[in-house]
Amino acid sequence: MRSRIAGTGSYLPDKVLTNRDLEAMVDTTDEWIVERTGIRERHVAAPTQSTSDLAMEACIRALAAAGRKPEDIDLIVVATTTPDMIFPSTACLLQKKLGVRHGAAFDVQAVCSGFVYALATADQFLRGGLFKRALVVGAEVFSRIIDWKDRGTCVLFGDGAGAVVLEASNAPGILSSHLHADGSYADILNTPGQVWGGRISGDPTLKMDGGAVFKLAVRVLEEAAQEAFAANGVTVDDLDWLVAHQANVRIIASTARKLGVPESKCVVTVDRHANTSAASIPLALDVAVRDGRILPGHLVLLEGVGGGFTWGSVLVRW
């Protein structure tokens, strides 16, 4: 038994914050942001919207694309770093909104690698026969953990959600998953605050050593791709699409250059939603599926990297 992606969906909140808008908030320019990151705009959730609301919208679209109903789902895995509450999990809150009352639901916390971790986890459950059909979601409201006075980070992130319906299948589908973590890099990207005695203790906004993150991201994304190719006996020439974490167009371009993947095979959506952490890969995937780039039979490499540090790949035969 294997698993295959039967449908994709994504959602971006209505409110758009452009680089020009940010010029009025911090000492930055549209030119700097576009040149250094490729980002042109990001979306910000309404005060009434939580991560599970964004996730819900993406799931409705993924279910429709797969021709399935919420009751067909027996596993919900949500990758998020910005959960609605400390508990219950965002997956349980999403399950309630979907009207599902059976199966399992839980969150995965691997920051920007979260979707790859969640997809690999759901794939293992479906392969093992424990569940038949999963919603795998990446959803974030990163705008709520950003220091909007810090130009070094506030221009980089946005809110959004992406989802896939993953079904048990006789044929792949998902060919391989490889997951990695190295907690010794916790200091270069984190949000150190915590709830303690009814108060927030420590800084609850995102802190990052951008240069160190950039270098590490390019190195591990290249290594993870080579690992996936070797494990499946394929070469870079067999690859149809690289869907890497959408943090910075220069990270994607540098990784592609090192691997020898032409830029025309890289899906890039970071310009329209900035870094949406766990949501970025399913957002980019959904765009490329819906605009007809990703077609049946294509070989697609999903690659994530993020805080932890965590990284990994999922290789998919579409």
Site for ligand UT7 in 151-170 (CB under 6 A): 151-152, 155
- Which DSSP helix (H) or strand (E) runs through 54? helix 51-66
Distance of CA 139 to the CA centre of its chain: 7
23 binds ligand UT7 (CB under 6 A): no
Neighbours of 283 (CB within 10 A): 32
Out of 92, 112, 154, 266, which one is annotated catalytic? 112
* 112 included as an active-site residue: yes
CA dist 143 → 110, 159, 167, 276 (Å): 18, 6, 32, 9
247 binds ligand UT7 (CB under 6 A): yes
292 binds ligand UT7 (CB under 6 A): no
First and final C-alpha spacing in the chain? 16
Shortest approach of ligand UT7 to residue 205 CB, angstroms? Answer: 14
Contacts with 120 (C-beta within 8 Å, 6 or more apart), sequence order: 177, 179, 312, 314
Shortest approach of ligand UT7 to residue 249 CB, angstroms? Answer: 9
254 binds ligand UT7 (CB under 6 A): no
Contact characters 50-89, ligand UT7, x per CB under 6 A: ----------------------------------------
Out of 245, 248, 266, 273, which one is annotated catalytic? 245
* List 78, 92, 108, 112, residue binding ligand UT7 (CB under 6 A): 112
* List 210, 265, 293, 318, residue binding ligand UT7 (CB under 6 A): 210
Identity of the amino acid at 89: S
The encoded tokens of residue 254 equal 């540098």
Choice between 125 and 309, CB closer to ligand UT7:
309
Find where tokens 């010794």 sit.
184
Identity of the amino acid at 102: H
* 275 included as an active-site residue: yes
Shortest approach of ligand UT7 to residue 105 CB, angstroms? Answer: 25
214 binds ligand UT7 (CB under 6 A): yes
Shortest approach of ligand UT7 to residue 129 CB, angstroms? Answer: 34
* 102 included as an active-site residue: no
35 binds ligand UT7 (CB under 6 A): no
Identity of the amino acid at 262: P
Cis peptide before 197 (omega within 30 of 0): no
222 binds ligand UT7 (CB under 6 A): no
- The radius of gyration of the chain from alpha carbons, rounded to an integer in Å, stands at 18
Rounded-to-integer distance, Cα 96 and Cα 16, Å: 28
Binding stretches for ligand UT7 (CB under 6 A)? 28, 32-33, 36-37, 112, 151-152, 155, 189, 208, 210-211, 213-214, 217, 245, 247-248, 251, 275, 306
